[in-house]
Amino acid sequence: MMASAFLDYTCGLIIDYAHSSNRLSEADSRRIAKAGLIMSIVGNLGILATFKYFNFGVGLIHGLCVHLGMNGPFFDLAQITLPLGISFYTFQTMSYTIDVYRRIAKANKNFVDYSCFVTMYPQLVAGPIVRYKDVAEQLRNRTVTVEGFSFGVERFTIGLGKKVIIANTMATVADKIFAIPQSALAVNTAWLGIISYTLQIYFDFSGYSDMAIGLGRMFGFEFLENFNYPYIAQSVRDFWRRWHISLSTWFRDYLYIPLGGNRLGQARTYFNLGFVFFLVGLWHGAAGRFIFWGLYHGLFLILERGRFGRILDKLWMPVKCSYTLGVVIIGWVFFRSDSLVHAFHFLQMMFGFQGAKIYTPFDPTYINKETFLILSAGIIGCTPIGGMLKMSCLNSLEAAVCSFSRPLEIFTELLSTAYLIAIFIFSAMFLANGTYNPFIYFRF
């Protein structure tokens, strides 16, 4: 991480020198600035490829050689361990040099300040991906207030509850169901498993993002939002405007648009979308199932660019939401499965193929009153229904007792505080009583 930080800090200074020096010709200035940018991109992608994709590449070569009847000591190479959060801080440092090259941000000449940006621990392990231009001023000047700290504590507590209470519980259900042999898996059980995983991955990652935003706010940093109720999206395009916003906008601004975006004709637009989502899948993991997941989403984005998208826009909103959620849930099967073969077998069970039973009673070891309650809370929690009900109740109370506005405000604050304390206590209880605490996105 520090090698990556030093590389991009140095490249930023080179690019800044090329832009600001009066002794260089315009051609030399462009050449030196481009050299600094290329050095940064090649260095960062080289580090990322070595740690994240070396094992994958060796595995592919090994499989090919075994298929051709060849084997040897070359394949006894040690496995390279993946550093935590390498994809996140690599993309952050690359965005810095690209923004300096584009003159969107000024080069930071203080290595301590720049290192603070790279190593900012609230979001270091699992995002959101923070761009330098969004926090450059905050690195030098920020204000820590009681109100901001209070907001940070509230946001952190909500994120902790999302992760520990909902995501971990749903992970237990999903993991047990995905481990069931194909011959013993019924349609209803398969759907319970993928719905549980759909909730797990959302509350796992959005919970972490909430905790990161909350911790940052406690120190005076304001990070951008990373989720906006993605499961109520009305198209796959809309889904990617709401899901992992920092990643989707990063690929849009630093890859899709520079490739030409949608400005170079329909065929080039389709290629750009397919290529970008191939890389989105590869970014999530060095495995065929992640690549397939990325291409799968890219295919629907391409379809929505054409006539299908125009038809979709005219449909009734619940139909559009159902279509999008169906596409997303099927995509999560590939994301969660151990392999592509496992994913296709699981999909067959979901839709009743291969002689799958339509219904078998749920095993009480993975679905009981507690997990059903948390499942229901998760379904409600990934929609804005809860917030809408809260605002409606507050407005009704305020209208009913308008002459007691101050007591009502105090009562609301006390109720909100009690709610947060309850979440924190239950989260602590869940952590104390269980050792199963998977974190999905730290791997990326």
Q: Write down the residue that tokens 């940006």 correspond to.
A: 117
* φ, ψ dihedrals at 83, nearest 5°: -65, 145
The percent helix, strand, coil of the chain (3-state, each to 5) is 75, 0, 25
* Residues in contact with 15: Cβ distance below 8 Å, sequence separation at least 6, in sequence order: 32, 33, 36, 37, 97, 100, 101, 107
CA-to-CA separations, 277 to 44, 56, 361, in angstroms, rounded: 20, 19, 39
C-alpha–C-alpha distance, residues 357 and 353, integer Å: 9
On whether the CB atoms of residues 118 and 173 are closer than 8 A, the answer is no
On whether the CB atoms of residues 356 and 187 are closer than 8 A, the answer is yes
Type of residue numbered 21: S
C-alpha–C-alpha distance, residues 200 and 329, integer Å: 12
Enzyme catalytic residues: 284
Nearest to 49 by CA among 96, 88, 87: 87
* Residues in contact with 283: Cβ distance below 8 Å, sequence separation at least 6, in sequence order: 87, 247, 444
For residue 277 the two structure tokens come to 């989502």
Residues 197, 199, 205: CA angle, nearest 5 degrees = 95
